[in-house]
Every structure is written in structure tokens, then in C-alpha cells.
Amino acid sequence: MKLIIASNNKGKIREYKQLLEPLGYSVVSQSEAGINIEVEETGTTFAENSALKARAIYDISKCAVLADDSGLEIDALNGEPGVYSARYGGCTNDADRVSLVLSKLKDVPEEKRTAHFVCTIHFIAHNGEEIAVEGRVYGSIGYSPIGDNGFGYDPIFMYDGKSFAQIAPEEKNSVSHRANALKALVQKLTQKESIG
Ligand code: IMP
């Protein structure tokens, strides 16, 4: 059964293929499905944004769809950058967003620099049935960017003594917020299959 991922990000599509094709889905990106709309993320939560994207594409395609939304929540900044992670402070690139976070945390001590990444996934089955799940990974914010892998806030997100930009992509993909959300979705889909 065809499953459209509401994204054209190659890394995301690869990750979703690996976990969902064994369940019998034939995974295609939004552009491979011939859908060229860009849904505006007007929601105030990750869950709202992923539902908005999934429903917009389901309405056009009437085909199974998966949409996600993700970002970084920093406790000392009351959850910022949150849903604004991709456009925090109006900055136009990752390096400026990272610098902004570090400057806001400059007087915050080690034990108060806790943070987590969140990923929500909204899945709509061929028949219109919807499943929403969330995954998280907990860590803390470092004092300067470190490492060359990853993207976004990875160089300052410290997990198990290293930044997310210092560990191999496979390692990040096994513990990340996205991986945890996807595992929760696969569990729900598998439960449904076994129920019939
Ligand atoms: P989106 O869900 O792909 O729209 O991502 C939203 C934004 O959150 C990205 O542009 C990044 O700034 C941030 N973000 C989400 N996931 C990650 C991650 O795994 N590493 C680093 N930054 C991330």
C-alpha cells in the first residue's frame, strides 16, 4: 500500500522507508507522489502542525499519509525555541540560531541547561483513520558548538557526554526523538494488524 511522507527530505524518507516498508507500505516522498503544495505550519503545537500537514495531503491524495513536526525545547527558556525551532529569533541559518540559544543561556549553570528534542508524527491510513504519536530524547545544551555531523541544533545538544553532531548518524537515528516517535507508530500499526 502506498504511503506518502509529507516531506522531500532525503534523510527522513530513508529512515521512514527502513521502518515502514517491512510492514507492507511502499514509501514515497511528497514530490514522488506529485504533490507540490507547501502547507503553512500555523499550529501552536508540534501535534497541530503535523496533523495540519497530514490532513492537507490526505485531502488531495486520499492515500495513506505520514507527516511529522519537530523541534528543540529548552527548560531554562520556558520551552523555547519550541515550534519556532526552524525560524528562531528570525535567524535565517542554523549557525545564527545556535548562537542565539548560547547567548540566551550564557548565565545558566550546567544543572539548569536541560533540554529535549520532540517529534510528533501524524499518520492517516488509506481509510481516513488517524494515529498521532510523539517521541522525545532528553539531554542538555553545551557551551559551544561541537562536531560536524547532523544539522540544526545538533552541535549544542549534549547526549551521553557527546553532542548529537559528534556521533554517527546511525547512532543518532537509534536514539533520536524521530526514531522514538517512529517506534511508537510502528508499535501502534503492528498492534492494529494483529487485532485484524
Ligand atoms: P522540521 O520538523 O524538519 O520542520 O524541523 C524543525 C526544526 O527543528 C529544524 O529546522 C531544526 O532547527 C530543529 N530540529 C528538529 N530535529 C532536529 C534534530 O534532530 N537535530 C537538530 N535540530 C533539529
Does the pTM exceed 0.85?
yes
Calculate how far, in angstroms, residue 154's C-alpha sits from the geometric centre of ligand 1: 9
Q: Enumerate domains of the chain plus CATH numbers.
A: 2-195 (3.90.950.10)
Confidence at residue 81, expressed as pLDDT on a 0 to 100 scale? 98
- Where does the pLDDT of residue 18 fall: very low under 50, low under 70, confident under 90, or very high at 90 and above? confident
pLDDT of 55 > 90? The answer is yes
Q: Which atom of ligand 1 is nearest to the CA of 70?
A: 2
Q: Which atom of ligand 1 is nearest to the CA of 9?
A: 3
- Where does the pLDDT of residue 63 fall: very low under 50, low under 70, confident under 90, or very high at 90 and above? very high
In the residue annotation, 69 being an active-site residue is answered as yes
Alpha-carbon distances of 180 from 112, 114, 146, 187, rounded to whole Å: 24, 19, 24, 11
- Where does the pLDDT of residue 168 fall: very low under 50, low under 70, confident under 90, or very high at 90 and above? very high
Beta bridge partners, 188, equal: none
Calculate how far, in angstroms, residue 187's C-alpha sits from the geometric centre of ligand 1: 24
In the predicted model, what is the mean pLDDT of residues 79-89? 96
- Where does the pLDDT of residue 23 fall: very low under 50, low under 70, confident under 90, or very high at 90 and above? confident
Ligand 1 probe mutation, 153, 156, 162, 173, most atoms within 8 A of CB: 153
Handedness of CA 140, 146, 149, 154 (dihedral sign): positive
Alpha-carbon distances of 196 from 13, 25, 69, rounded to whole Å: 27, 17, 29
Lowest mean pLDDT segment, chosen from 63-67, 136-140, 188-192: 188-192
State whether residue 156 is helix, strand or coil: helix
Which protein residue's CA is at the shortest distance from atom 9 of ligand 1? 86
pLDDT of 174 > 60? The answer is yes
Tell me whether strands 130-141 and 114-124 are parallel, antiparallel or unpaired. antiparallel
Q: How is residue 146 written as a grid cell? A: 561541537
Ligand 1 contacts (CB < 6 A) are: 69-72, 85-86, 117, 150-154, 164, 176
Distance of CA 22 to the CA centre of its chain: 21
pLDDT of 196 > 70? The answer is no
> Cell 517491512 maps to which residue?
22
Specify the higher pLDDT residue, 64 or 196: 64
In the predicted model, what is the mean pLDDT of residues 26-52? 95
pLDDT digits (tens, 9 = 90+) for 108-136: 999 999 999 999 999 999 999 999 999 99
Confidence at residue 194, expressed as pLDDT on a 0 to 100 scale? 64
